[in-house]
Structure 1
Amino acid sequence: MTKLIIIRGNSGSGKTTLARNLQLLLGKNAMLVSQDMIRREMMRTPDGPETLIIPLIIEIVRYGHTVCPYIIIEGIFKGEWYSEMFEQLVTLHEGKVLAYYFELTFEETIRRHQTRDKAQEFGEEAMHRWWNGKDYIDFLNEQTLTDTDDLSMILDKIKGDLKCLN
């Protein structure tokens, strides 16, 4: 049965870096669904409560559910706007779901953002507008990732958590 791994948090927190490394670790046919890739590059559409990407993400994940052992979905995914989508995805995966939320300070996300290619695209002011502190989605039972957790430690944690899902 396919396992769904959800990675959420504010811009600049490390979601994409974690997701890409996790995809490599999980190997062949691990699907990565990136909110930014779909919203900013595929659709070039704004985010919001009725964003056009929600039905597309659901369809992509449904397809992955038929052919992939793991689906990683990562993005900011503001809880108020994306909770219903996650309800559908959790139901589809019948409890085979792990969820992680990057809970970092705003200052730490700015520090991390300054090391990325996207630092030239937008800065602190935009990140402040997008900021959602402690934006947990309760039914996901998200595990908190902090600035003291390094990438290697997080990957080991997720590997261990996946073994418990079997």
Structure 2
Amino acid sequence: MRKLIIIRGNSGSGKTTLAKELQKAFGPNTLVISQDTIRREMLRVHDGNGSETIKLLKTLIEYGHSNNKVTILEGILNSKWYQSLFEKAEELYGPENIFAYYYELPFEETFKRHLTKAERNDFGERELKRWWNERDYIECIKEEVITKEIEIEEAVKMIVAKMN
């Protein structure tokens, strides 16, 4: 059965790192779809309601469903703006095959993590505060919370165990 993992949270929380580690753990035929890569690098569009990013992400999760054992979708993915994407995911995978996680970290922790990233000089604390979404949970898909106490290795083990 095809599975979808959704990893969401504020900028700098660790979503991309977790997605890449999960891809290693699941091995070949695991597709990682990064909202930032699609939006900022491929399309070069702003985020928001009706963003062109949504259309391409829908196409990519369809591709993942048709061609990959595991698809991992990661990004900030604002719950309101991306509602139609989450509905499409439910339609494709069914709720029993979606494993969704939300990084719920204090702002100070995400800023600390941001300072370790290659893009740390591209934007700073002011921008991170402006983009901040407190407890931005998806309405139609149940998400499990990942807190700052859960290290990457532990999160990987937890998610892999739930998928088996």
- TM-score, with structure 2 as normaliser: 0.97
Residue-pair matches, total: 163
Q: Give yes or no for contact 2:3–2:93 (8 Å, CA) kept in 1.
A: yes
Q: Cα RMSD between the aligned structures? A: 0.7
2: CA distance between counterparts of 1:2 and 1:36? 24
* Residues 86 and 140, structure 2, Cα contact 8 Å, conserved in 1: no
CA distance in 1 between counterparts of 2:69 and 2:41 reads 26
C-alpha deviation, 1:94, in angstroms: 1.9
Deviation at 1:139, TM superposition (A): 2.3
User: In the alignment, what sits opposite 2:107?
Assistant: 106
- Residue 8 (structure 1) shift: 0.1
SS at match of 2:49: coil
Output one character per residue of 1:26-69: Cα deviation in whole Å (capped at 9) or x when no partner: 10010000000000000000000010011111111111111100
Residue aligning to 2:15: 15
Cross-structure match for 1:159 = 160
Match of 1:63 in 2: 63
1:28 matched to which residue of 2?
Answer: 28
In structure 2, runs of 5+ residues without a counterpart are none
Whole-angstrom distance in 2 between the partners of 1:158 and 1:34: 18
Which amino acid letter does the alignment assign opposite residue 123 of structure 2? F
Query: Aligned ranges for residues 143-154 of structure 1 at < 5 Å?
Result: 143-154=144-155
* Structure 1 unmatched ranges of 5 or more: none
Q: Which moved more, 1:105-114 or 1:131-140?
A: 131-140
- CA deviation vs aligned residue, 1:54-97 (integer Å, no higher than 9, x gap): 11111111111111000000000011101121011111002210
Report the alpha carbon displacement of residue 115 of structure 1 after superposing the two structures with TM: 0.5
Question: SS state of the match for residue 22, structure 2?
Answer: helix
- CA–CA separation in structure 2 for the residues paired with 1:23 and 1:39: 21
**Conservation of the 8 A alpha-carbon contact between 2:7 and 2:100:** yes
Question: Counterparts of 2:159 and 2:2 in 1: how far apart (Å)?
Answer: 15
Runs of 4 or more, structure 1, over 4 Å off, are none
Distance in 2 between the 1:68 and 1:97 partners? 14
